[in-house]
Structure 1
């Protein structure tokens, strides 16, 4: 505990799922966490869960650059710069090649690729030397799962960003890495597949994991905390799989 004492962290989508679990974990390690999300009620609940003394919630959409500016204005007002960025926000939908639409493609890439890029770009003036940037990629990027092609491609972009930005920012001692969760039990499964189908989907996903179960958001958060801290000081441009062996065995 205390590995991030006095540090400041930004987590997009920090009001639910992996983002919230990561915000709780980084705050427990001593960081002040700035979270952004679109739903005010969930943001307020997340701020209470994290601890109001350790969290600042900003309502906004990462596809709106003015909202990102407001987020970083809040960080700037604290006056201590920024030490960790976890670009976590993502969106997903199901469609095969024959079903893909312009709207679906534009929205998915607007959030998962464009939103990630501007989340990190707008953080650059605030990042302290030696900061850590973490991108939430996905095992889906390499799985070729039916009806998940657009989401997978957008997450592959994130993995590519991590390599390039690690090279571009290494001169400032800023480490950029990606984390790739496998199937994780969050409300996203229900949102994507519906209440009736969700239990069957969870069972199907668990069957494809070497450990025989889906992951917990807290397990991904532990990997995020590792990449955010000095424990990972010699890790650069990496993609850390947190997938229960799904893509490893």
Structure 2
């Protein structure tokens, strides 16, 4: 039986764990040839083995333009085209920093990955992207909130939301759709470590979510695949919020 992504070429940044890995597995399970990036070679190798279906790992940092060039050069050499980009790689602020305590290094780190890196992940893919292709950006509910001490992260994700609007117009003549998935807290290894270091925070977070729990990476992956598929062919420029009702209720 034909699958939704048979013979499709998919690139995912930050695909060695968490949401990126879950999404890579989901695309591969539906027939796609998946290319992922990650900074640590050992984790990348483990992820490629877990994804299967001839997945390819290209070691690199999404904030490095040279590393992005290597990713797309590999896809160009292997296939000469690209159908889906999931610009997933992102970072959070290691510590809560209210206005007055923000430093240059912190700003450069967060915006370097979440804004600069994401922008060039999309832009450098354009020569390879097929007409009618799909670009999906990993945003956050933080784009619509004002979480205290997290203004850099909040603002970086607001920029991601804005990019989707502008790029939808920029790319409309090629039929390339740009959309955002905006998760709230998601059960990833990184999130679990953060929560375990802060007793009581998880209970406080889940009490604010009508569905009463964190999201699963696979649930975010389902939304990415929907937006990238023919089922989402008339969806462009949207932010699909995946937060169990947190921002709506």
User: Counterparts of 1:159 and 1:245 in 2: how far apart (Å)?
Assistant: 19
Give unmatched runs, 5+ long, in structure 2.
none
Give unmatched runs, 5+ long, in structure 1.
none
Q: Which secondary structure does the structure 1 equivalent of 2:231 belong to?
A: helix
Please tell me whether the aligned partners of residues 31 and 54 of structure 1 are also in contact (alpha carbons under 8 angstroms). Answer: no
Kindly report which structure 2 residues correspond to 1:37-76, keeping only aligned pairs within 5 A, or say none: 37-51=38-52, 53-76=53-76
User: Counterparts of 1:229 and 1:248 in 2: how far apart (Å)?
Assistant: 26
Give 1:80 shift: 4.2
- Report the equivalent of 1:35: 36
Give 1:195 shift: 3.8
- Report the equivalent of 1:144: 146
User: Counterparts of 1:196 and 1:111 in 2: how far apart (Å)?
Assistant: 24
User: Counterparts of 1:76 and 1:58 in 2: how far apart (Å)?
Assistant: 13
Distance 1:64 1:236, change over 3 A: same
User: Counterparts of 2:177 and 2:209 in 1: how far apart (Å)?
Assistant: 30
Give 1:147 shift: 1.1
Distance 1:80 1:6, change over 3 A: farther
How high is the TM-score relative to the length of structure 2? 0.96
Provide the aligned C-alpha RMSD in A.
1.3
Give 1:97 shift: 1.1
Q: Which secondary structure does the structure 2 equivalent of 1:36 belong to?
A: strand
- Report the equivalent of 2:229: 229
- Number of residue pairs aligned between Structure 1 and Structure 2: 246
Give 1:77 shift: 1.2
Give 1:200 shift: 2.7
How high is the TM-score relative to the length of structure 1? 0.96
1:67-91 CA distance string (max 9 Å, x none):
1111001110112400000000001
User: Counterparts of 2:138 and 2:195 in 1: how far apart (Å)?
Assistant: 24
Distance 1:42 1:234, change over 3 A: same
1:125-168 CA distance string (max 9 Å, x none):
00000100000010011111111110010000000000000111
User: Larger deviation: 132-141 or 88-97?
Assistant: 88-97
User: Counterparts of 2:113 and 2:122 in 1: how far apart (Å)?
Assistant: 13
Q: Which secondary structure does the structure 2 equivalent of 1:183 belong to?
A: coil
Q: Which secondary structure does the structure 2 equivalent of 1:178 belong to?
A: strand
User: Larger deviation: 7-16 or 73-82?
Assistant: 73-82
Corresponding residue to 1:135 among 103, 115, 137? 137
Corresponding residue to 1:170 among 159, 169, 172? 172
Give 1:190 shift: 4.1
Give 1:112 shift: 0.1
Kindly report which structure 2 residues correspond to 1:133-212, keeping only aligned pairs within 5 A, or say none: 133-191=135-193, 193=194, 195-197=196-198, 200-212=200-212
Runs of 4+ deviating beyond 4 Å: none
- Report the equivalent of 1:106: 108
Please tell me whether the aligned partners of residues 8 and 80 of structure 1 are also in contact (alpha carbons under 8 angstroms). Answer: no
Give 1:205 shift: 1.4
Give 1:61 shift: 0.7
